[in-house]
Amino acid sequence: DTAVSQTPKYLVTQMGNDKSIKCEQNLGHDTMYWYKQDSKKFLKIMFSYNNKELIINETVPNRFSPKSPDKAHLNLHINSLELGDSAVYFCASSPTGLAGPHYEQYFGPGTRLTVT
């Protein structure tokens, strides 16, 4: 069983469009995350979210918005896509705040977004 899944795996779109990436985890975790990996392979946290609190990295443009219909899903919606948004986006999940005996953070397979 896939622990953290993302769809789509690849997404090619034009500048100015709005797109969404979906993420689901079946681990029963309370906290989910979105990370961006740029062309230089640098990984950066974008958001963390549990059912109580959304933490937004201050460097993330407000064109990006996470949406969580329930605890097992955290989707990423991007408005007015720009060339610089091209990257691989990884969803991840963990027990709340990495507390307790379970410290692992599990990553999804990634979504490669290409904006033309």
Partner 1 sequence: ELKVEQNPLFLSMQEGKNYTIYCNYSTTSDRLYWYRQDPGKSLESLFVLLSNGAVKQEGRLMASLDTKARLSTLHITAAVHDLSATYFCAVAGGSGGSQGNLIFGKGTKLSVKP
Closest distance between partner 1 and the C-beta of residue 32, in Å?
A: 10
Where in 34-63 is the site for partner 1 (CB under 8 A)? 35, 40-45, 48, 50, 52-53, 55, 57
Nearest to 25 by CA among 16, 14, 34, 17: 34
The yes or no reply on residue 107 touching partner 1 (CB under 8 A) is: yes
Where in 82-101 is the site for partner 1 (CB under 8 A)? 90, 92, 94, 96-99
Residue in 24, 76, 78, 108 binding partner 1, rule: CB under 8 A? 108
- Residues β-bridged to residue 67: 75
Question: What is the distance between the alpha carbons of residues 49 and 16, in angstroms, rounded to a whole number?
Answer: 26
Closest distance between partner 1 and the C-beta of residue 97, in Å?
A: 5
Q: Considering beta carbons, is residue 48 or 75 the nearer one to partner 1?
A: 48
Contacts 24+ apart (CB under 8 A), 69-72: 71/30, 72/24, 72/25, 72/26
